[in-house]
Amino acid sequence: MKKILVTALSGAMALATSMGIASANTVTITGGLGTITCNGTDAGACEGIFGGSLIVTNPGNQVTGGSLGSLSATMADAYDSGNASEANETTAFNTLAGTSFLEADATKSASDPSPTFTTLSEYFLLKIGNMTVFLKNTSGGPLDVAYTETAGKGAGLSHYTEFGEVPEIPIPGAIWLMGVGLAGLGAARRKSKASSAA
């Protein structure tokens, strides 16, 4: 019985430890602007939006339409998304990602930010030079983001804008069942010790 309990506890600890291991991926920006490395604290990391399109019209240099893009864990397109107002960035994100954010949902960083930051948002964009890269946080928690500029491209990170909160990844039912099973094994062991002591 003791061997079974030790084995079950070892398995539970290994599973719990593996769930907390950070997972990272690197998204390459098409057009040679650089890479974005995402490091999540739970599972997965981030996905870039590629494909689709944005229609930018003048005057105002604003997004007035376009088409839905797709998600990829390895690449992201850089888009001409017009002016960098929160309203215009929100319209661009809604067009490419099929989201329904309002301008009030956008939180823009200070200008000239560090190329590394942490976000709790489900979606975010990076304004790199006159282009914009759109990403989704798929980690289920905080995400560490690092932008690495391709040497000689002159496309520094001017700001990033965050949208929405990341949904938490629920703990699978198997974890709860394992906990109940371990509690049952502990109770059985205590009962067995009590019977043998009597």
Q: What is the pLDDT of residues 59-69, one digit of tens each?
A: 889 999 999 99
For the whole model, what pTM was predicted? 0.74
Residue 131: give the domain boundaries: 19-165
pLDDT tens digits, one per residue of 56-108: 998 889 999 999 999 999 999 999 999 999 999 999 999 999 999 999 999 99
Q: What is the mean pLDDT of the chain?
A: 81
Cα–Cα nearest to 101, from 188, 49, 162: 162
Is residue 10 included in any domain, yes or no?
A: no
In the chain, the number of structural domains is 1
User: Does residue 170 fall inside a structural domain?
Assistant: no
Residue at 100 is within a domain: yes
Contacts of 137 (CB under 8 A, 6+ apart): 38, 40, 46, 119, 120, 121, 122, 123, 124, 143, 166
